[in-house]
Amino acid sequence: MPIIYTFLSLIVVSLLSLVGVFTLSLNRERLKKILLYLVSFAVGGLLGDAFIHLLPETFEKIGFNITVSLLVLLGLVLFFILEKFLRWQHCHIPTSSEHRHPMVALNLIGDAVHNALDGMIIASSFMISPAIGLATTLAVIFHEIPQEIGDFGILVHGGLSVKKALQYNLFSALAAFVGAGVVFVVGPHIQEYLVYILPITAGGFLYIAGSDLIPELHQHDARISTSAGQLIAILLGISVMALLAFIE
């Protein structure tokens, strides 16, 4: 069953790579406003999954001890390394003269690594429990929507046609299945250690929310109404994760 759940989840996540095409009819300012709220919602989803699902599940299975703290810190450091050395940096707001993007090829490589890691995280979560897998998949989806829109913009801005940008984005998204496959091959041999992936994932989600997404929100439109909207979107993302905890 974990394989089926993971496969279905990754199909949905991969199809999100095509979401960028729906933004072509929007002007830049309207798209920017929409993305700010989508990014805010993603912040709430990632934080909610980390604090409401991943860490409580970890405490239940491992206990509340220094090992968990170290694993969360390990997740933070690992994601820092990915961003620093693999240049895994995703923009969620359209390209502008003040907001430059990396080269197309570099973005595709970084995105493939990112998607492979998503596949590993989702597969590991479903191997632990369907509820954790669902919550983690939703957190990934919340982040993927604004990210894929940003990646699509990078590819088109970098000179690719709309068709090629969609194709390359989809091929990159399929790396998630490779990551999941690795987990399902290795997972049965390390089943008792899979739970230790949860706090590492929580640390990674905290890094993405705190280092990548929240600073993005501070860079654009500081009006009180916009800030209030962002806060509401963050709280909505957290609420969705809290609701999942009540219906498990």
- Each residue's pLDDT tens digit, 24-63: 666 777 777 788 888 899 999 999 999 999 999 999 888 8
- Quick one: average pLDDT of 154-169? 79
Instruction: Name the residue ranges covered by the structural domains of the chain.
Output: 2-17+27-247
Q: What is the pLDDT of residue 96?
A: 46
When pLDDT is cut at 50, 70 and 90, the band that residue 188 belongs to is: confident
Cβ atoms of 147 and 209 within 8 Å: the answer is no
Higher local confidence (pLDDT), 224 or 241? 241
Left (φ > 0), alpha (ψ -120 to 50) or beta: where does 159 sit? left
When pLDDT is cut at 50, 70 and 90, the band that residue 83 belongs to is: confident
Q: What is the pLDDT of residue 27?
A: 72
Left (φ > 0), alpha (ψ -120 to 50) or beta: where does 221 sit? left
- Quick one: average pLDDT of 57-81? 91
Q: What is the pLDDT of residue 86?
A: 62
The model's pTM is: 0.81
Mean pLDDT, all residues of the chain: 83
- Quick one: average pLDDT of 192-204? 89
Percent of the chain with pLDDT over 70: 87
Q: What is the pLDDT of residue 63?
A: 87
- Asked if the model's pLDDT at residue 95 lies above 60, the reply is no
Percent of the chain with pLDDT over 90: 34
- Asked if the model's pLDDT at residue 134 lies above 90, the reply is yes
- Quick one: average pLDDT of 199-219? 88
When pLDDT is cut at 50, 70 and 90, the band that residue 205 belongs to is: very high
